[in-house]
Amino acid sequence: MTTERIAPPLTGGEREMLRAFLDFHRATLAMKCEGLTEEQLRLRSSPPSTLSLLGLVRHMAEVERTWFRRVIGKEDVPLVWSPEGDFQVAYDAAGADRGEAFAAWAAEVEHARRIERAAPSLDVTGHMARWGEDVSLRLVMLHLIHEYARHNGHADFLREAIDGSVGP
């Protein structure tokens, strides 16, 4: 399967741009993982780090779940791999299952899209307990774009170390 990554528009409304950039970065992470075996997806960057591509997928599932479902959607759902709220735990994919990780990530992305589309505006707020502050959907979308962009940089290095593949 080949991931289709659509470049964000050069002009448009704020919500359209945020949505497009977030989807662009989601697709970038998927592209970095394409064509690799489960073993390759579990390869760690460099000791003592537990960071791997599969770990990044698990981490981003937790991030999507937290910000969209728990904060904006106000859903009382537990984290999947980070019961204590330490998202770094999700990075350790030593015994992780590829199918489970990608299914969880895809499900959380769909939940996030549903929540974002249902919100009447970017000014909708939710409470981020860790910060003790209310945050807007606008901030959540910007934060997720930042989070994906940072981790996609990690994914670039991980992928290059696995098979020499570089690029978009």
Q: What percent of the chain has pLDDT over 70?
A: 95
Please report, for the domain that includes residue 22, its CATH number: 1.20.120.450
The reply to whether 80 falls in a domain is yes
Query: How many domains, in total, are found in the chain?
Result: 1
Question: In this predicted model, what pLDDT tens digit does every residue of 24-83 receive, in sequence order?
Answer: 999 999 999 999 999 999 998 777 888 999 999 999 999 999 999 999 999 999 988 877
The reply to whether 114 falls in a domain is yes
The reply to whether 9 falls in a domain is no
The reply to whether 148 falls in a domain is yes
The reply to whether 90 falls in a domain is yes
State the pLDDT at residue 45: 79
The reply to whether 56 falls in a domain is yes
The reply to whether 7 falls in a domain is no
CA distances from 29 to 67, 121, 125, 137 (A): 18, 27, 27, 22
CB contact burial 62-89 (16+ within 10 A = b; e otherwise): bbbbbbbbbbbbeeeeebbbbeeeebeb
CA angle 85, 33, 55 (to 5 degrees): 20
- Asked whether 26 and 109 are in contact (CB, 8 A), the reply is yes
| Residue 133: domain span | 14-163
Tell how far CA 64 is from the center of its chain. Answer: 6
Instruction: Tell me the whole-structure pTM to 2 decimals.
Output: 0.93
The reply to whether 29 falls in a domain is yes
